[in-house]
Chain A
């Protein structure tokens, strides 16, 4: 998902300050992390004089607004994503986008979706190294790998009786994280 919103330049430093605080105080990112369906997301502020100009022949941009560009890589559908954002992160989202022109607030969700629909632009090419894995799949798989690495160190040197106990403990540890990845069912 990509979105671009205009901001009056005097507001830009305030948003930069907010992002600085968000970056410095990790607990403030807890809701974003706990949602656990965003692989990567970023916000980029482009100053009105900061659009790259690489040749004298390229016309110079003459803009009155700075722009906030948002990119998100999430699993699930657009509606699920926006609904979750609105329901769980409304306060944080308001602090980010309140500096953008005409932002209606992230609740109620209908005008919020209308605004996102207006400022969004489409992706022309998208690549994902693990296209069938959701964020939770990745986290679960890494936990399984860590548990297996631990168990593998001793599993072959145990007596069968010791192995049985250790194997059961290992299964109990990995059980919540087992499974295989695949195409998610599409729900609306």
Chain B
């Protein structure tokens, strides 16, 4: 199935946005304003739905006219595109969106035609599936790990680099002992936060090079 690659699911949703001529500020503009205020780090709503690798929300105002001799044509509605890449199955992911990021989901999709609200997760899942587009071809460079595994591996990579750097040249018995402590600390370290911290410097940035 083209929506999936290994353990990764590529979901594409196209939701028509409500057109209401009576409003001073139309739904599309309100939606864009809201999206522009959303955090992108570990406080992002997608960090709560922690199986999300990468996600985007895009307003499609119209199709594109590429120039003559092609025909010029226009959409009659504007659409919200939701593109997300996550590990696991679709139903679980959508239900997590509704339960763990319901406020955000409502704030976004309330601008869309036929949106039933995140409160009723069955109706929400059915709505999203009505808006789903089948992916024709999906490419995932790494498709055999979860988000949690990947974040943990990045944490390990950085920690191990520091361990090796700090302990080079020490006697083998001492390194062995320290390595055991290192493994225990790594095992009990809190899981890395998806999305990172906006104010966080990387280990490399923190370490001036001589």
Interface, chain A (partner B; CB < 8 A): 2, 4-6, 15-16, 19, 22-23, 29, 32-33, 36, 38-46, 50-55, 57-65, 67, 69, 71, 73, 100-102, 115, 118-119, 121-133, 135, 137-142, 144-145, 148, 152, 155-156, 158, 160-161, 163-164, 167, 171, 174, 177-183
Contact = CB atoms under 8 A, between A and B. Distances in A.
Given A127-B44, A142-B153, A144-B156, A51 B140 contact: no
B160 A174 contact: yes
B160 A148 contact: yes
Interface in B13-72: 14-16, 31-32, 35-36, 38, 40-41, 44, 46-47, 50, 52-61, 63-64, 66-67, 70-71
A133 B142 CA distance: 13
B123 interface: no
Residues of B in contact with A, size category: 35 or more
Interface of B: 2, 8, 10, 12, 14-16, 31-32, 35-36, 38, 40-41, 44, 46-47, 50, 52-61, 63-64, 66-67, 70-71, 73, 75-77, 79, 81, 83, 85, 113-114, 127, 130-131, 133-142, 145, 147, 149-154, 156-158, 160-161, 164, 171-173, 175-176, 179-180, 183, 194-196, 201-205
27 contacts: A2-B58, A2-B81, A4-B60, A23-B2, A23-B137, A39-B142, A40-B140, A42-B12, A44-B133, A51-B14, A51-B77, A54-B114, A73-B85, A102-B67, A121-B64, A124-B58, A127-B47, A128-B195, A130-B154, A138-B154, A141-B156, A142-B142, A155-B180, A156-B179, A179-B161, A183-B202, A183-B205
A35 to B, nearest CB: 9
Contact of A42 (B16, B138, B204): B138
From DSSP, what is the main secondary structure of chain A's interface residues? Answer: mixed
A6 B205 contact: no
B58 A122 contact: yes
A104 B175 CA distance: 60
B117 to A, nearest CB: 14
Nearest to B131: A52
Contact of B113 (A36, A58, A138): A58
A22 B32 CA distance: 36
Contact of B75 (A61, A141, A163): A61
B36 A124 contact: yes
Contact of B16 (A32, A40, A53, A148): A53
A124 B31 CA distance: 9
Contacts of A164: 172, 175
A48 to B, nearest CB: 9
A45 B53 contact: no
A182 B201 CA distance: 7
A39 B35 contact: no
Contacts of B180: 155-156
Contact of B64 (A53, A59, A118, A174): A118
Given A124-B32, A144-B153, A178 B164 contact: yes
Contact of A130 (B134, B141, B161, B196): B196
